[in-house]
Amino acid sequence: MKTRHWPFAPLIVLFLAAATFLAPNVGREASETRAAADYSRALKRAQYLLNASIPTDAEFSADAGKETDYEAAVRRFIDNPRFYDAVMRYHERLLGVGLPAEYLEELQRPDIDGKELKLARLRCTRGQGAASRFTCAWEGGDAGRNRTGQCPKAMQEPVTPFWKPEAIVWVCPSVARACGSNLSKCFVEYSDENEAKNTELGTSEAFDSRYTIVKSLSRQAAGLATAVVVDNWPYTKILEPGLTAVDGALAHFYGQKHHFDIDKLNVPADLIRQLEDVNVDDTRFNLVYTGNHYEHAGILTTFGWMRRYEKNRTRANQLYERLLCRRFTADLPRVFPQDPGNLRTREGCKGCHATLDPLADFYAVWGEGGALYQGNAAAKKTTFAGKSGSTLADLSSIITNDEAFATCTVQNAWEWMMGRKFYKEEEKLRDGLTAYFVKTRYSFRELIYALATHPAFTSAARADAVVTDPLDPPPLGKVPETTQKTCKPAVDFDTDIGPRATRYCAGCHDGTDGRQSLETEVDWRRLGKTALGLLASGSMPPGQSGPPTAGEVFELKEDVRCWVEQQDL
């Protein structure tokens, strides 16, 4: 069971109808690509990138004949379960993976938290010969059990380890009873250390829960971003304070205080309570919301990000490069002094550090390296992109409300799909895609659809992948242009919403045929946020041609937005 604990709406907001916003035409006038489309070639590339598969002859025949067939195929690729894996690989490259070796040592050291008796340990190995089987047995003397861990082969029982539910391992009855049918109640080690390390890379079938946990922790940021995309939430949610993501391995890990003192991880208490609803054998990441915590900022405070980039300056530098597509460059002096003093003001250093150091100050409440477990230092008043704040929640708001974030997301997605950067002459195309991304409420799925159906992607004559004149980084400090009107001081439901809601919504949403009712104010109080998302994306009412920008439906959407905000729904 996949669990969603979100305050934003009782149902997942769907934006797929935004396809009718004519995504393939985004920036088409600005594109220099005028060659004829080659849908056979585009289909093969799109299916490989988005679903890691190659079209069959039948699929080529059905989907590559004309534009509408190809576009329908791209929709299916984005809706396919394999899209999750493609987006996960994309985010692993974008956000980085891996953890320092010291963390694995912390997991194994019995003195890391003063607990000598941790989880009962199993030692697993594969026998010799083609018909050999994986077996796991008690590690001799572990946790005072003093078991040899051996029993006759005929008595062994098959179980499936929770982190590899497709695999089978054989254990004695005593192990099955104590560790469970998925071994989640014990700590599993593989006898060959080198083989165990390969489990983190996915190159081995060996069972080792240490490396499985490390792998999940290191992919947590990518998993959070991927879950946001697959569920089609606005991409700005990847920086949502209080939002994180867990798979089955992490749900198990956070719930087992025997590994080491979980409290030192500074994990919100509400997260631990919610993990009971996550299946321990779930290999995909699930979004979990634990309330607005000022010290949290989505991917920027996942364990993997914080331990992979262990210094606050490094964390700031990485988000500057990966989320805003900008780099710090320094013109260092020929002889660097042993004590450079204040880097924010020193010549040769201040060009970067006048921005980098205040940006790093947003992380002041967190410890660095292993001291991350303590954290909770005093916040600092600081600035970035001309805006002030003191917490990572403040930084999240600054970044997501800056057009550079949307533009950088477009650039990163473009490079994934096109295999190259934007050319300088494609600036208008980049601007058009950015505007489309913002108007579809930061739907990454719609952005991918727009890219995969754009002439630059479908053209038979693609440009050289080597870009010698790339576009400049997106400028900081510009607020995205969105279509909104100023709210009245008090929006009245009966006057401003009710009549138009009856005209445009209640005819379909009357509580029949599986549709939620939107006939009364009580209904709108319960489902107002969901309805707002459907109105904004063009999914409602029927016949709407893309997200509304003017007219009666636009006015209804804006009045609902203002009413929801004023009613604090």
Per the model's pLDDT, the better-predicted residue between 214 and 481 turns out to be: 214
Of residues 297 and 19, more confidence is placed in: 297
Q: pLDDT confidence of 271, banded at 50, 70, 90?
A: confident
Dihedrals phi, psi of 342, to nearest 5 degrees: -80, 105
535 or 25, higher pLDDT: 535
Q: Hey, which of 53-62, 175-184, 329-338 has the most confident mean pLDDT?
A: 53-62
CA 522, 523, 528, 529 dihedral sign is: positive
* Angle in degrees, CA 141, 144, 150, rounded to 5: 40
- Beta-sheet pairing, 169-171 with 134-138: parallel
CA separation for the pair 275, 289 (Å, rounded):
11
Q: What local confidence, expressed as pLDDT, does residue 379 receive? A: 83
Other CB atoms within 10 Å distance of the CB of residue 354:
13
Most confident of 13-17, 40-44, 274-278, 348-352: 40-44
What phi and psi values does residue 243 have, to the nearest 5 degrees? -100, 130
Region 255-279 average pLDDT: 68
Helix, strand, or coil (residue 123): strand
Query: Alpha-carbon distance 390 to 358, whole Å?
Result: 10
Give residue for tokens 């459907």: 534
Angle between helices 209-218 and 101-108 (to 10 degrees): 140
**Tokens for 367?**
């410890």
Q: How confident is the model at residue 198 (pLDDT cuts 50, 70, 90)?
A: confident
Q: Do residues 331 and 348 make contact, with C-beta atoms less than 8 angstroms apart?
A: yes
149-155 LR contacts (CB < 8 Å, sep 24+): 149/122, 149/123, 149/175
Question: Beta partners for 50?
Answer: none
Q: Among 99-113, 124-138, 395-409, which is the least confidently predicted range?
A: 99-113
Does residue 319 carry a pLDDT above 80? Answer: yes
> What per-residue string of b and e applies to 379-388 under the rule 16 or more CB within 10 Å gives b?
beebebbeee
For residue 158, say if its preceding peptide bond is cis, omega within 30 degrees of 0.
Answer: no
Q: Is the model more confident about 45 or about 123?
A: 45
- Helix/strand/coil for 389: strand
Lowest mean pLDDT, pick from 88-102, 174-188, 202-216: 202-216
Q: What is the mean pLDDT of residues 203-220?
A: 78
* pLDDT above 80 (res 11): no
Candidate from 17-21, 137-141, 426-430 with smallest mean pLDDT = 17-21
| Token couple for 111 | 């003195």
Residue 26 amino acid letter: V
- Write down the pLDDT at residue 481: 61
Nearest CA-CA partner of 228 in 302, 159, 329, 167: 302
Q: At which residue do the structure tokens 């006038």 appear? A: 29
pLDDT at 417: 94
Looking at the predicted structure, is the pLDDT value of residue 30 above 60?
no
* Per-residue pLDDT, 366: 87
Q: b/e map of 76-100 (b: 16 or more CB within 10 Å)?
A: ebbebeebbebbbebbbebbbbebe
Q: According to the model, what pLDDT value does residue 466 have?
A: 59
Q: What is the largest CA-CA distance in the chain?
A: 79
Cα–chain center distance at 386: 27
The conformation of residue 114, written as its DSSP 8-state character, comes to: S
Q: Please check the confidence at residue 141 and state whether its pLDDT lies above 60.
A: no
Tokens read off for 516: 């939620």
CB-count burial class (<10 Å; 0-12, 13-18, 19+) for 543: exposed
286, 250 Cβ separation under 8 angstroms: no
524, 532 Cβ separation under 8 angstroms: no
53 in Cβ contact with 476 (< 8 Å): no
* Confidence class for position 226, pLDDT limits 50, 70, 90: very high
- pLDDT value at residue 205: 66
Is the pLDDT assigned to residue 540 strictly greater than 70?
yes
**Considering the entire predicted model, what is its pTM?**
0.70
Angle between helices 427-439 and 444-452 (to 10 degrees): 140
For 195, the token pair is: 């083989």
How far lies 465's CA from each of 24, 39, 415, 470, 486, in Å?
21, 20, 10, 11, 45
pLDDT at residue 507 is higher than 90:
no
The average pLDDT across 501-530 equals: 82
Q: Who contacts 102 (Cβ-Cβ below 8 Å, separation ≥6)?
A: 370
- Residue, of 347 and 79, whose pLDDT is higher: 79
Element (H, E) at 355: helix 350-360
Question: What is the pLDDT confidence band of residue 487, given thresholds at 50, 70 and 90?
Answer: confident
**190 phi and psi angles, rounded to 5 deg:** -95, 145
Predicted local distance difference test score (pLDDT) of residue 12:
33
What per-residue confidence (pLDDT) applies to 34?
Answer: 42
Is the pLDDT at 482 greater than 60? The verdict is: no
pLDDT (0 to 100) of residue 87: 97
pLDDT at residue 4, as a whole number: 42
* DSSP summary character for residue 463: P
Structure tokens at 231: 């569920």
pLDDT of residue 225: 97
Amino acid making up residue 511 = G
CA distance 339 to 241: 37
What separation in angstroms does the CA of 360 have from each of 23, 314, 357, 367, 378? 38, 8, 5, 12, 14
Tell me the mean pLDDT in the region 433-450: 92
